[in-house]
Amino acid sequence: MSKIRKAVFPVAGLGTRFLPATKAMPKEMLTVVDRPLIQHVVDEAHEAGIEHFVFVTGRNKAVIEDHFDKQFELEATLRDRGKTTALAELEKDLPAAGQTSFTRQQEPLGLGHAVWCARELVGNEPFALILPDMLMRSTPGCLKQMVEARDAIGGGNFVAVEEVDPANVGSYGIVGVGRDHGPAFEITRMVEKPAPADAPSNLMISGRYILEPEIFDILDNQERGAGNEIQVTDAMIKLMRDRPFYGFRFGGETYDCGSKVGFLSANVAFALDRPEIEPEFREILKGLLAR
């Protein structure tokens, strides 16, 4: 069973739910406390043993590439001013030379299409797919837990799932629950945005995947689905006919940072995790809530 060495980060979407913030700035550069979303998920991938980070970008997304580069002027200034801690932090976050690749999705035709754009960079090996706007909070991170589940089961395709209010299943990809395999369960079916009466469960696909490279063969011919977009769920449904799929119940918290409430909640939760911010911030929150 080959190791998961590569992760794909689709970052070419338009972020229309977050306009006007995302008019000139990529959604993935919005900050949760003081780190851009994309840095949070790269950290998660790094912790899971990922060695190569593949970004599928689009127009107006060059700043993401810059974020993972050296900033010589800034670093020289920090050095001159003796700001060694800030300098060390920047260096720690930087992937090693050659560990990143950037490709372009010229048109945002959907998540499935964005994944397909990474096919040459991923090649013939299983890979992780991480949606950067879904921020997962847990120790260890979600992807590391999934990689360990895959190691225990001995391979296959994995998606992280979590419970949603049964009334809201129509907004998500929903899975059917089959046999238990210890850290994960076999998925019997997947349905994209089902009517509540047709939903096989209330477990939604939440933004972390481990996929076998055969998904690219399916995406070669994948037609547009829901929202007139090429959907990765549609391709996974086809791949499920031949290959095992497992659901990993993520026990931490997930914040959909593509939505305003999710993003604001993530900022509060992650700020309260930071000892240097927490006491003052908690008092301010208490005051605001008492208003």
- Cβ–Cβ < 8 Å for 219, 234: no
Determine, following the binding rule CB under 6 A, whether residue 225 of this chain makes contact with ligand UTP: no
C-alpha–C-alpha distance, residues 136 and 120, integer Å: 28
Determine, following the binding rule CB under 6 A, whether residue 114 of this chain makes contact with ligand UTP: yes
In the complex with ligand UTP, which residue's Cβ is closer, 149 or 208? 208
C-alpha–C-alpha distance, residues 242 and 240, integer Å: 5
- C-alpha separations of 29 from 25, 67, 68, 117 in Å: 7, 9, 12, 21
In the complex with ligand UTP, which residue's Cβ is closer, 36 or 110? 110
List 105, 201, 206, 222, residue binding ligand UTP (CB under 6 A): 105
Determine, following the binding rule CB under 6 A, whether residue 15 of this chain makes contact with ligand UTP: yes
Determine, following the binding rule CB under 6 A, whether residue 219 of this chain makes contact with ligand UTP: no
C-alpha–C-alpha distance, residues 64 and 55, integer Å: 9
How many chain residues bind ligand UTP (CB under 6 A)? 23
Please compute Rg for the chain using Cα positions. Answer: 19
C-alpha–C-alpha distance, residues 35 and 40, integer Å: 7
Site pattern 245..274 for ligand UTP (x: CB under 6 A): -------------x----------------
In the complex with ligand UTP, which residue's Cβ is closer, 78 or 210? 210
Number of neighbouring beta carbons within 10 Å of residue 276: 7
In the complex with ligand UTP, which residue's Cβ is closer, 170 or 176? 170
Determine, following the binding rule CB under 6 A, whether residue 131 of this chain makes contact with ligand UTP: yes
Site for ligand UTP, residues 29 to 68, rule: CB under 6 A = 56
Site pattern 66..85 for ligand UTP (x: CB under 6 A): --------------------
Q: What percent of the residues of the chain are helix, what percent strand, and what percent coil, each to the nearest 5?
A: 40, 25, 35
DSSP-derived letter for residue 29 is G
CB of 257 to ligand UTP, least distance (A): 9
List 4, 7, 8, 12, residue binding ligand UTP (CB under 6 A): 12
- Cβ–Cβ < 8 Å for 152, 169: no
Q: Using CB atoms within 10 A of its CB, is residue 26 exposed (0-12), middle (13-18) or buried (19+)?
A: buried
In the complex with ligand UTP, which residue's Cβ is closer, 28 or 212? 28
In the complex with ligand UTP, which residue's Cβ is closer, 13 or 156? 13
Q: Which residues bind ligand UTP (CB under 6 A)?
A: 10-18, 27-28, 56, 105, 108-111, 113-114, 131-133, 258
